[in-house]
Amino acid sequence: MNDGARGVQGVHSRPGRALAGPAAVQARLRLIRVGLWLVALAIAARQAAAVLSRPSGERLTDLETWTGPGGVLHMTGSLYDADRFTGTPFAGLVLKPLSRAAEDALGLGWTFGTLLLVAVLGWIAARALPKPVTRRTALLAAPVAISLLMLSLPVRNALYLGQASVIPVLLVLLGCFAVPGQRRAGVLIGVAAALQPTMLLFAALLWLTGRHRAALSGGVAFVVCTALTWVALPHDSWIYWVHHLAGTGLGANPSGLGNQSLHGALLRLGLDGAPEIAVFLALGAAVAVLGLRRALRYAEDGQLLLAVAITGCVAVAVSPTTWQHQLLWVLLAVIGRVGKRARDRYVWPVAVVLVLTLPAKALLPNMAVVFPLRDNVVLLAALAAACAVPFLPRSSPYFRAPIPTAYARPVPARWHRVPLLPFWRRVLNRPNLLLELLLIRVGYSAYAQVRLGVRGERAAAEDHGASVDSIEKFLHIDIEHWANQNVVKVGWLRDFFDFYYESFHFFVPLTILAVLYIRRPADFRWGRSALGFATVLALLGFWLFPLAPPRLMPGLHFVDTVHGVQDFSKPDYGTLTSVTNQYAAMPSLHFGWALWCGIMIAVLAPRWWMKALGLLHPLFTVSAIIATGNHWVLDAVGGATVIGIGFGLTHVLSGPRATLPLPAEAAEGPPTGDGAPPGRDAAPGGATAGDGTAPGEERPLAPVAADEKPREDGDGAAPDGGDPPAAGGLTPDRRPSLP
């Protein structure tokens, strides 16, 4: 073995890092499990505290409007007189005693009761994952599912506004996965439909999957509950079912952004009256037919939880009104597996989690051209899950073994403890473009919100500006006023720097990222990580050291060439004060990002003239930010510092940047310290991955027949030692055995 290979081997075989035995693996899993449950408990406590810490007059606003003096559920007239209650009459009949109990407990009962229901819902969903799933996996999945549910917008909305939308979802999951007997399961789904009529679609799913008795029981339970409510509340039942056509038009404006259904989307697009109703009925019927067919297909495949989630997404789309607290079904659709490659496997779940936890404006830019997408982003996610997303069947060879990711040969580090995170290996495959764009957009949105949120006081920012000016004078680098006054006198130079300041800040870094993504995927990840670390560090600077730029310093007579003349008599005199933090000057990310661009070009460009040309960008940028009065010289020093720390953190955490090996090393294949055979990881530089494929190519897997089922041992256990197939598994006739 040559010296280079020995160096690589030394990275894997560090002293004291023996191969972990079964006991160590079990201990590590127990530690991870405890950590996940602690995270779930912390999130639940945070959500409860956010609700209960409100003043008594504001706590559970919607609930108090139901139960307070003259509240909806205390009114002697109709439930719908106040135009606030949007549920079915049966829901009003059931919620009266529940809401009175919550009122007596000052909201504690309602809040903690809702959290308990969410925890039960997450546990059932984790146990209903498609087989073969081990008990260990379910125990790890449960706290993750509960945490995601707690963070989701529907649950947060239900907690803050006192909604009961978690109950129908829980009733359906109990009926499908927990309650034995077809009649009992059907009754639970029928009660859920009495609370939310579109839940009747689950009775259709039961019928299609051969559970006729459960489907009939569900229909009968729905009819009985609704009929009893007609007897108890005839006036309210007439208003809901006849006058408002199953609740359509009750509550908030159905064309508002809160109504994430096809009906709401069509109203927002400008359709109205009979044409809108006709289009809605046609689209709703098409979505219902296509969605139920897909749900049946995945139910027969043994993925019953996915089938239930798809049916719920259909209910979200076809309901006349689907408010934010009724959208949990979309989140449950993350359990579907999408993509043959390992690098694509995370796109769908990450997209759904972001859609269900972040506001739409954080996902899409504030541009008129994307308003139709942004206004209906949750509906589009539901429609995708119901009708379009190609979830993998269990018979697919990629269901449990996606095409693996190719990794670069580790490079020996100068220091013994580098990398600190050995699992952060250099990936050779090109990352998924949609996932990268989504994460970049969300990351920038978070950066912009934090940057805007850490506003500094004007007095403190000006004091810091005076301090910076004094330091620069002491160091004899106070060239800002001289540069600003001389540039103002030369019209074409002023226009050039104004244009450069406004135009190249985003364009050049995005262009470099795009080129790296296409030509150098491994270096794309390296550069992206360094840029991300630097940006996060810059946020700390904005928070700890608010600084007025030269153009906003009274008495220094700077000319703001970009933003125009400032009115220093106003408390907030910055032209863009309402949309950005004018005191986020230290460090200068204008120069920091430009320096990152110059470093990337200088390191990776193949020609000397390209490297020299790349270094002109940070030179022009630092000239522009100083000449236009937008930054001090020390701001540029701060920007260079955070960029240097960003590259340093990337190096320390993940090791040196992977370089192409010599042909002899590539042919030998990277040695591994975990007992894997040579050639398991793809080597760069055109080396094969041990199976005749190049690093970026897909590795063919042995095909599996479409009707092949996962092998089970004689005792019914799955091949990997998991639990035997439960209620959602496949029966000999390939129908899921629903309770």
Alpha helix positions (H), 301-359: 304-318, 328-332, 347-357
pLDDT digits (tens, 9 = 90+) for 62-87: 444 444 444 544 445 677 766 566 77
Using DSSP, state whether 215 is helix, strand or coil: helix
> Which token pair is 431?
């990352």
Q: Band of the pLDDT at 2, cuts 50, 70, 90?
A: very low
CB atoms within 10 A of CB 495: 12
Q: Band of the pLDDT at 100, cuts 50, 70, 90?
A: low
Residue 241 pLDDT greater than 90, yes or no: no
The answer for residues whose C-beta is within 8 angstroms of residue 444's C-beta and 6 or more apart is none
For residue 188, the model assigns a pLDDT of: 93
Q: Provide, rounded to the nearest whole percent, the portion of the chain with pLDDT above 90.
A: 26
For residue 13, the model assigns a pLDDT of: 40
pLDDT digits (tens, 9 = 90+) for 527-557: 999 999 999 899 888 888 888 888 888 878 8
For residue 291, the model assigns a pLDDT of: 95
Q: Provide, rounded to the nearest whole percent, the portion of the chain with pLDDT above 70.
A: 74
Give the separation between CA 340 and CA 333, rounded to whole angstroms: 18
Contact by Cβ (8 Å): 485, 559: yes
679: left (phi over 0), alpha (psi -120 to 50) or beta: left
Query: In the chain, what is the straight-line distance between the N-terminal and C-terminal CA atoms, in Å?
Result: 61
Q: Band of the pLDDT at 90, cuts 50, 70, 90?
A: confident
Residue 682 pLDDT greater than 70, yes or no: no
Half-sphere exposure in the Cβ direction for 204 (13 Å, CA): 18
For residue 573, the model assigns a pLDDT of: 55
For residue 253, the model assigns a pLDDT of: 75
pTM: 0.75
With b meaning 16 or more CB within 10 Å and e meaning fewer, what string describes 629-645?
bbbbbbbbebbbbbbee
Task: Summarize the confidence of residues 720-727 as an average pLDDT.
Answer: 38
Residue 213 pLDDT greater than 60, yes or no: yes
Give the separation between CA 159 and CA 118, rounded to whole angstroms: 11
Give the separation between CA 407 and CA 426, rounded to whole angstroms: 6
Q: Band of the pLDDT at 677, cuts 50, 70, 90?
A: very low
Residue 27 pLDDT greater than 70, yes or no: yes
> For the chain, what is the mean pLDDT?
77
245: left (phi over 0), alpha (psi -120 to 50) or beta: left
pLDDT digits (tens, 9 = 90+) for 35-58: 888 888 888 888 777 776 766 555
pLDDT digits (tens, 9 = 90+) for 102-122: 555 545 666 787 888 888 988
